[in-house]
A and B are shown apart, each in its own frame.
Chain A
């Protein structure tokens, strides 16, 4: 609690004590003479009224001076003065008192949720240790570190700036950025990202960026800006408030005049008009709706998901189609040897060895995966590239290599058929199959496949449950392989053999299709490196595994810091909850206010009910909005 809030609280408490003392005295009838005299009673109730209401009165005059009279302070003053004039002294003081209680609680609640969000986005480092030429260490503001300077990071300290490890080994904790609890190990030459917390080892890093351009600064900036990109709901509330307040005020005036003229009971109608003014403030919605979105963005941030604006929260809650890249997003993105199928009488080791030899000069990912597999199986294996005399690459088939007097063929089925080598076809359609033959004799087949991420199928299933109608997979990969993966995962449509520009036009078509129905949106999930145009083009661009990738953070609307697909259904759940809470608040506030307005006009609801419709509803809506921050994790 800030000093300002404490002061306010004390004022309200004193006013409350005085007020209740007066009420009790009046009702006990101890001093009937005092309370029967109107000027004396008025004077007494003015004490608590002024103790807490003075700032409101000041603000009301300020509003008039600045030519913006229709603000809530002004309305409160008019309403309470009206009540005082009609002789409802205690009610006037009560309205002012509870109005201030409500205002205080709003500040407190907003401060509290702001605190919990800044706590969980507690990334910003306070200092950096710079090593100077003479080995001395100077502690400076991270802002003052220049590119190329050497920083010393002690165990347990935050890494202040993006850099490269020069010396030391350690485990760094990325939890604050990614929500991922398992630390990453870093060694000399590895890049480290600011905002991570160093583990047990002492690290020396070279600053690669200025503080301003480092990951931490950029993320904090995005979070700050996120609350400025307003959602439809927030804009609606702002527009609504602009109409609502003047409308209620005019109705109040009309009510007082008409009622007074028709019935002649001026006091009673002025009192009814004053209850209207108390309800005329739209604060409950004006504060609680942005607070709900703010809380949603904060809750997502805690899960390592950066949502770059309230508007995207709203779109996420109404997704219809999710389009995803395959390689690197739904799959691990690395080619691995999954299976070796030797021909009868041949050793597995020999197939791998000959294949590695034939591919010895190749930099193709398949060649690399074969070499890796050989090393895994036998760390001492020598590929013996020196034996290679010449290699011919046959486009669309494979390659032929001559080594040590033997002719090695490695390639697809077409190659085996072209060379007339009898081979045993492998049946796995998802894999890329390399057949290996030596001097026309079939040795075996090697199956290489990009592994589907463990959680992918489950994530697609939970997206479906969340109301996503179609999950589409796009890939530059072969049709057969793509369709096999698609079937495994339960994808609705697969578009394969796409060049980058094809992806853009495909997503364009899907967007048109999705938008055919109102309030239906499309999200694209990609790795952020190659998919920037598509990320920007879709309604919501979701970038995966973006820690340390500026391009991805720039292009995407929703940034998932680590590689975990499960964060996507989690952030959609947060978004749906956020939008739901915002909607509850709007309806609840509107209905209660409308009800009290009608009852007030009929003379059934008094000013106490009006205070509840104003302050009570605001407090309840704010509490409702804060629910989002209560839950620890959304998995």
Chain B
């Protein structure tokens, strides 16, 4: 399942870092953090989507405290 969310991210470099970290997570098929559009796209296992989504936001925050997602 693939879903898009509005997000907040401070800089292009931070977006890339967060994106890389989320992509490495278990169950994540693909992730995109678009700095210009301030959009977060997550493609993940359908069955555990909500769980992975929440976890991915936490992973992102650990790397970049400025990362937040409007769920």
Contacts and interface: CB of A to CB of B under 8 A. Distances in A.
**Same complex origin of A and B:** yes
Interface of A: 2, 4, 58-59, 62, 66, 68, 71, 106-107, 110, 114, 118, 223-224, 227-228, 286-287, 290, 294
Contact of A224 (B8, B12, B34, B65): B34
A338 B12 CA distance: 58
Secondary structure dominating the interface of A? helix
Interface string B33-50: 011111100000000000
Interface of B: 8, 10-13, 17, 32, 34-39, 63, 65
A284 to B, nearest CB: 13
A71 B63 CA distance: 13
A294 B13 contact: no
Contacts of A228: 32, 34
24 contacts: A2-B8, A4-B8, A59-B65, A62-B63, A62-B65, A66-B63, A71-B13, A106-B11, A110-B35, A110-B36, A114-B36, A114-B37, A118-B37, A223-B37, A224-B37, A227-B34, A227-B36, A228-B34, A286-B12, A286-B13, A287-B12, A290-B12, A290-B36, A294-B36
Contacts of B13: 71, 286
B10 A224 contact: no
Contacts, number: 34
B59 to A, nearest CB: 11
Contacts of B35: 110
A107 B10 contact: yes
A227 B17 contact: no
Contacts of A286: 12-13
Contacts of A114: 36-38
A287 B11 contact: yes
B61 to A, nearest CB: 10
Given A228-B34, A290-B12, 11 more contacts: A4-B8, A58-B65, A62-B65, A66-B17, A107-B10, A224-B34, A224-B37, A224-B39, A227-B37, A286-B13, A290-B36
B12 to A, nearest CB: 6
Contacts of B10: 107
Residue of B13, B32, B65 with most chain A CB atoms under a 10 A cut-off:
B13
Contacts of B12: 286-287, 290
B40 to A, nearest CB: 11
A542 B35 CA distance: 27
Residue of B11, B17, B32, B37 most packed against chain A (CB within 10 A):
B37
Nearest to A107: B10
Nearest to A227: B36
A118 B8 CA distance: 15
Nearest to A111: B38
Nearest to B32: A228
Contacts of A118: 37
Nearest to A4: B8
A62 B10 CA distance: 15
A132 to B, nearest CB: 28
Contacts of B34: 224, 227-228
